[in-house]
């Protein structure tokens, strides 16, 4: 395992707000296991399994077994990790008990939300329905559905966004295939919690990055990292006025596990590091100055890329922190420094 990822994993395992004993002898199903967040969660569970003798089993639902085997190569032969090949839309039969579910399978590429909106919606809604039915049938102890801050729509600048806020989104904007389908999934979670007593919680995540990010990742945080590594100026095609919080991958994994064990069924929890709140332009400038490069603006029409319109997403995380969770670091730059070190090691 990469040194930085190992350090982060050890920090997750040492978090005193995660009751690891609850996982003893349990089986956890993780969807989206090869994604950035899923990968971090699975690593933490498997490392905790060894160091704390938990005797747990991780069932990782993956679309490609070869990609999963490559992603988790260090766990080859580990009987605690089992791959189930399939999709959430056509969920394979899961034999045996399942005690906890973390449902993270989702479209994450903005461009695909515009080019494949039908698939974006169906993957979200059908997949979540299937996982909720499984949770009901298996009588799970807990389930977390990974949602998004985008369900809040476009809050006013200066407004602190709490879980009670409602987001208005136009159904006529094809880019909204993603946040509107997430809203529908959240409604399904609440419905299953109410009608069938399924203990499901909702994690409304801000944009998350850190170790595990591929060098060629298309998202903007990876682009900034590549610019620093390659000593090329950051070129912004828009003004970068969007303001939001971010979240380190290890903090996200710890938050998800905290909500899984301590959250209240049928409720949502904002997940972000409030100390990272800034605009995209400010973030670019901070990263550029640290990396010895410059920021240039070459404004262009980026609507085809699927980027969301300018938003101000200052998430209130007091509800999550009330469960005992806290972020490991502080500020945007330390997150970037660790991600860039990881990306360099993977080049």
Instruction: Please choose, from the candidates 251, 330, 304, 343, the residue with its C-alpha nearest in 3D space to the C-alpha of residue 9.
Output: 251
**Burial of 39 by CB count in 10 Å (0-12 exposed, 13-18 middle, 19+ buried)?**
buried
**What confidence tier does 307 reach under pLDDT thresholds 50, 70, 90?**
low
Q: Which pLDDT does position 2 carry in this prediction?
A: 82
Per cent of the chain over pLDDT 90 is: 87
pLDDT digits (tens, 9 = 90+) for 100-146: 999 999 988 888 899 999 999 999 999 999 999 999 999 999 999 99
**Tokens 């006013």 found at:** 156
C-alpha span between 224 and 281 (Å, rounded): 11
Question: Which pLDDT score, from 0 to 100, does residue 302 have?
Answer: 61
pLDDT at 221 over 80: yes
235-292 residue pLDDT tens = 999 999 999 999 999 999 999 999 999 999 999 999 999 999 999 999 999 999 999 9
pLDDT, position 308: 65
Measured CA to CA, the distance from residue 124 to residue 177 in angstroms comes to: 10
pLDDT value of position 337: 94
1/335: higher pLDDT: 335
Single pTM value for the model: 0.95
Q: For the residues 148-166, what does the mean pLDDT come to? A: 96
Q: What is the mean pLDDT of the chain?
A: 94
Alpha-carbon separation of residue 252 from 97, 123, 156, 259, 309 (angstroms): 26, 22, 25, 11, 24
Q: What is the Cα–Cα distance from 337 to 335, expressed in whole angstroms? A: 6
Per-residue pLDDT for 316 more than 90? Answer: yes
Helix ranges (DSSP H) in 65-204 = 65-71, 110-115, 117-138, 177-196
Residue 227 belongs to what H/E stretch?
Answer: helix 220-230
């Amino acid at each position: 395992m990469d040194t930085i990822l190992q350090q982060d994993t050890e920090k997750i395992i040492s978090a005193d707000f995660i009751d690891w004993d609850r996982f003893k002898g349990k089986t956890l199903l993780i969807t989206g296991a090869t994604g950035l967040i899923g990968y971090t969660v699975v690593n933490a569970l498997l490392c905790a399994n060894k160091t704390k003798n938990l005797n747990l089993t991780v069932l990782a639902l993956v679309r490609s077994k070869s990609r999963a085997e490559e992603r988790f190569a260090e766990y080859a032969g580990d009987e605690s990790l089992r791959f189930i090949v399939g999709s959430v839309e056509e969920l394979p039969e899961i034999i045996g008990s399942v005690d906890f579910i973390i449902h993270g399978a989702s479209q994450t590429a903005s461009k695909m939300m515009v080019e494949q909106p039908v698939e974006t919606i169906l993957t979200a809604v059908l997949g979540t329905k299937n996982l909720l039915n499984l949770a009901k049938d298996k009588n799970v102890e807990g389930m977390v559905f990974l949602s998004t801050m985008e369900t809040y729509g476009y809050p006013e600048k200066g407004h602190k966004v709490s879980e009670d806020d409602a987001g208005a989104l136009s159904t006529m904007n094809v880019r909204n295939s993603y946040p509107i389908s997430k809203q529908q999934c959240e409604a399904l979670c609440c419905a299953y919690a109410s009608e069938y007593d399924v203990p499901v919680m909702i994690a409304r995540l801000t944009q998350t990055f850190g170790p595990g990010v591929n060098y060629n990742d298309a998202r903007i945080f990876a682009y900034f990292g590549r610019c620093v590594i390659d000593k090329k100026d950051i070129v912004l095609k828009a003004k970068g006025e969007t303001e939001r919080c971010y979240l380190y991958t290890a903090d996200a994994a710890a938050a998800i596990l905290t909500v899984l064990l301590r959250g209240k069924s049928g409720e949502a929890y904002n997940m972000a590091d409030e100390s990272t709140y800034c605009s995209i332009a400010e973030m670019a400038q901070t990263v550029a100055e640290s990396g010895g490069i410059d920021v240039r603006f070459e404004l262009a029409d980026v609507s085809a890329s699927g980027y969301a319109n300018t938003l101000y997403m200052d998430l209130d995380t007091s509800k999550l922190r009330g469960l005992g969770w806290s972020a490991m670091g502080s500020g945007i730059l330390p997150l970037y420094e660790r991600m860039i070190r990881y990306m360099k090691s993977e080049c």
